[in-house]
Homo-oligomer: A and B are copies of this chain.
Amino acid sequence: MSVLRKDPVSNGWVILAEERRAWQSDFILQPVVRQPGDNCPFCGGRESETPPEITAFRPPGSLPDTPGWSVRTIPNKYAALHIEGSLDRRGEGMFDQMNGIGAHEIIVEMPEHDGHMAYYSRHKMEEVLAMYIARYRDLLNDPRMRYIQIFRNYGTGAGASLDHPHSQLIALPITPRWVKEELMSALNYYRLKERCLFCDIVAQETRDRRRVVFENDGFVSIEPFASKFPFETWLFPKEHLHDFSMTSEDQLDDLAQALQRTLLAISQCLNDPPLNFIIHSAPRLADYDLRRVPDVTIEQDYHWHIEIFPRVTRIAGFEWGTGFYINPLSPEKAAEELRRAFDAYSSQILRAGPSAAKPSPPQQGLTE
């Protein structure tokens, strides 16, 4: 008997249909194939081949658009949105449109072409997260921007067009609809319970354990109760915080570890699949723009988190046509598989050192 489960964040239902067939046959386990960096414009030394940099972490005295940087942010050459201009909201008969004002930036995570985020050192991961935060905070100053979305596409199967390790940032003059749904769910839950929905999820999951993938002092990653896709994974700060960019330096260390370990578990378990992750953080203007409720603020009821989607199943179009999903693998089993893969890798590393680990994907050792 399959079951229907409801996601308290989106209020969408999913069908867990494990008996449908042996789960392996529903899956596409194609590891990401990476091209060599011969003509890669993101590689160190080719700074002149990209648009001029917005900012970079580089040694004191080093000039923009020269080598020596460790993380570098540039405008997306093929940007979907542009920073110059006014919004110019206007109608077209009954329809609404506005200019494509916004920001579309590329965060190049390292000068080297072959890095793999799941195997970053903790220091490298902290640097990348620090750049996320720096760009996020800078764009928060632009009053036209309502929502900032940082995301990462890994592998062509997940929509990446270049293999060089990079993330993307899009700043939007609107709040995406599913973010609005999250905000409304969070508000409704808070009004009912006077507690944060996400804090309650974290509390139940860390007690229950079955869906936990990785946990440290500050963060926990879980397979959500109503996972839309196999191995969908959410990463939460355990302490309530609405805005990703307010993560403290103390917390950054735990976040870097939790994100890297979670990605490592996925990479090991699923043979380096393509994946996407998206940081869900509070929109800047949500409290008075969207909800107009004087008694609850966005600081109280929203809780930032990261959603990770390994691309291991083919999505039938009706699923993104209706918001109604059939998942052939329970989150409990997915979490068990991920924990087992992580433990197997860790004990291999501990026994014999990084060189004993599987040669592909590129190994940079466990961060510690």
A residues neighboring B (CB under 8 Å):
1-6, 8, 10-13, 15-17, 20-21, 78-82, 85, 92-100, 149, 151, 153, 156-159, 172-174, 176-179, 181, 200-201, 204, 208, 225-226, 275-276, 278, 307, 309, 311, 314-318, 320-324, 326
How many copies altogether? 2
Other-chain residue from B3, B4, B95 in contact with A226 (beta carbon distance below 8 A): B95
A13 and B176 contact, Cβ closer than 8 Å, known pairs A200-B94, A278-B321: yes
Q: Which residues of B contact A153 (CB under 8 A)?
A: 316-318
How far is A80 from B178 in the complex, measured between Cα atoms in Å? 25
Q: Which of B1, B99, B179 contacts A322 (CB 8 A)?
A: B179
> Which residues of chain B come closer than 8 Å to A5, judged between CB atoms?
95-97
Q: With the chains together, A321 CA to B6 CA distance in Å?
A: 17
Give the residue name and chain of the B residue nearest to A12 (CB).
Answer: B177
> Complex: how many Å from CA A151 to CA B208?
38
C-alpha spacing A311/B316, complex, angstroms: 10
Which residues from chain B contact A2 at a C-beta distance below 8 Å? 80-82, 99-100
Known: A1-B99, A176-B323, A176-B324. A158 touches B316 (CB 8 A): yes
Q: Which of B1, B309, B318 touches A100 (beta carbons < 8 Å)?
A: B1
- Complex formed: what's the CA distance from A15 to B101 in Å? 10
Give every chain B residue within 8 A of A11 (Cβ-Cβ). Answer: 177
Q: When chains A and B are docked, how far (Å) is the Cα of A99 from the Cα of B276?
A: 31
A200 contacts which chain B residues (CB < 8 A)? 94
